[in-house]
Structure 1
Amino acid sequence: MKVAFLVAPEGVEQIELTDPWQAVIDAGGTPSLLSTTGGRIQAFNHLDKADTFEVDKQVGQAAVEDYDGLVLPGGVANPDFLRTDDSAVSFVREFFQTGKPVAVICHGPWTLVEADVVRGRKITSWPSLKTDLRNAGANWVDEQVSVCTEGPNTLISSRKPDDLKAFNEAFVREFQTVSA
């Protein structure tokens, strides 16, 4: 199971990157860090700088067919930056077009809104995104984890770091079925 993690050069919520990353490793998979630039990305613990992480590949040079699934961690600044980058938005949209599963947590769905892939889909998120997601045509729900199979691909979503255990279990289970 090879999993792409797409993040901006700075602003990703560290636990929403590292915890799912470790879940992929624990399941015998291979995570890969993609960003809009090379080098290192700056993670945050809420509003405070945390660790930096080495980028494996720039998203503009990545191919969707090389991955079994996509994880979009949150953090307020992270998806807000990604949604302004054409290569990041195109990469996300292609996952939906090819029917590959996508997992997203917290503020991560902002990138999905920009890619116009939530219409008619059930999704959860950080509560402040509820109106944005509904305005984009999504069916927003307040659940620990939502698994939507109605559409071209499976969409797994969670609200916040407190939901990470359920989120990790749900997306790893789904990604493993795709890679089998």
Structure 2
Amino acid sequence: MPDTLTGRRVAFVVAPEGTEQVELTEPWKAVQDAGGHPELVSTEAGSIQAFNHLDKADTFPVDRVVREASADDYDALVLPGGVANPDYLRTVPEAVSFVSQFFAQGKPVGAICHAPWTLIEADVVRGRRMTSWPSLKTDLTNAGATWVDEEVVVDNGFVTSRKPDDLPAFCAKVVEEISEGKHAGQTA
């Protein structure tokens, strides 16, 4: 899908530590390869420390601090997983608010693995069909989502996947949904 996202800005929201590296880098590359412009948004300036499961991996420079960001500046949102990443993000009101803005505006959102923890805190999963890392099934069900064990699930511009093995399908669907633009059924 070369150049299907030309001119589109995509926020990747991550904590200063704990992001699963491949769940950041693979969707990032997919957005770039489609002509989009990904930006790393975090709760602190400087750089973030990514992980390969529990082992430190690479660091990545932060483009923008979440308290200075607005969904108005972006066409879509991607939330990478990792256990610590969404667990931290859901405790930061500015991050939760930023995520909520994308749903309120009907913009495409992609979340993989443990990332839905942040979405539960943003109260945007109720009534949605979605997937995640299996250990989040109860949390998502209790928050009102319909959880399914599928490689990738799309619900009105909202894309979810379970794990790194699902990245090819996740990346393809994220690019497809971003290229389609806003989804009226996406609003929370």
Give the TM-score range, shorter chain: over 0.9
In structure 1, which of residues 11, 14, 30 is the aligned counterpart of residue 21 of structure 2?
14
Matched residue type, 1:66: D
Matched position secondary structure for 1:89:
helix
Matched position secondary structure for 1:49:
strand
- Offset from partner CA, 1:27-76 (integer Å, 9 cap, x none): 00000000000000000000000000000000110111111100000000
- Offset from partner CA, 1:92-130 (integer Å, 9 cap, x none): 011111111110000000000000000000010000000
In structure 1, which of residues 119, 136, 139 is the aligned counterpart of residue 143 of structure 2?
136
Matched residue type, 1:132: D
| CA shift for structure 1 position 2 | 0.9
Matched residue type, 2:87: D
Structure 1 CA distance for aligned equivalents of residues 169 and 153 of structure 2: 10
Structure 2 CA distance for aligned equivalents of residues 113 and 63 of structure 1: 20
Query: Moved runs in structure 1, 4+ residues, more than 2 A?
Result: none
Matched residue type, 1:175: I
In structure 2, which of residues 137, 144, 163 is the aligned counterpart of residue 160 of structure 1?
163
1:28 alignment partner in structure 2: 35
Query: Is 1:85 equivalent to 2:88 in the alignment?
Result: no
2:62 alignment partner in structure 1: 55
Matched residue type, 2:85: N
Structure 2 CA distance for aligned equivalents of residues 174 and 121 of structure 1: 16
Structure 1 CA distance for aligned equivalents of residues 150 and 51 of structure 2: 25
2:123 alignment partner in structure 1: 116
Matched position secondary structure for 1:125:
coil
What fraction of aligned residue pairs are identical, expressed as a percent?
67
Structure 1 CA distance for aligned equivalents of residues 179 and 42 of structure 2: 24
Structure 2 CA distance for aligned equivalents of residues 68 and 141 of structure 1: 27
Matched residue type, 1:173: E
Structure 2 residue runs of 5 or longer lacking an equivalent are 1-7, 183-188
How many positions carry a matched residue from both structures?
175
Matched residue type, 2:55: D
| CA shift for structure 1 position 176 | 1.1
Structure 2 CA distance for aligned equivalents of residues 103 and 59 of structure 1: 17
* Pairs within 5 Å for 1:67-82: 67-82=74-89
Matched residue type, 1:166: A
Structure 2 CA distance for aligned equivalents of residues 49 and 63 of structure 1: 30
Matched residue type, 2:160: S
2:44 alignment partner in structure 1: 37
State the TM-score, normalized to the length of structure 1: 0.96
Structure 1 residue runs of 5 or longer lacking an equivalent are none
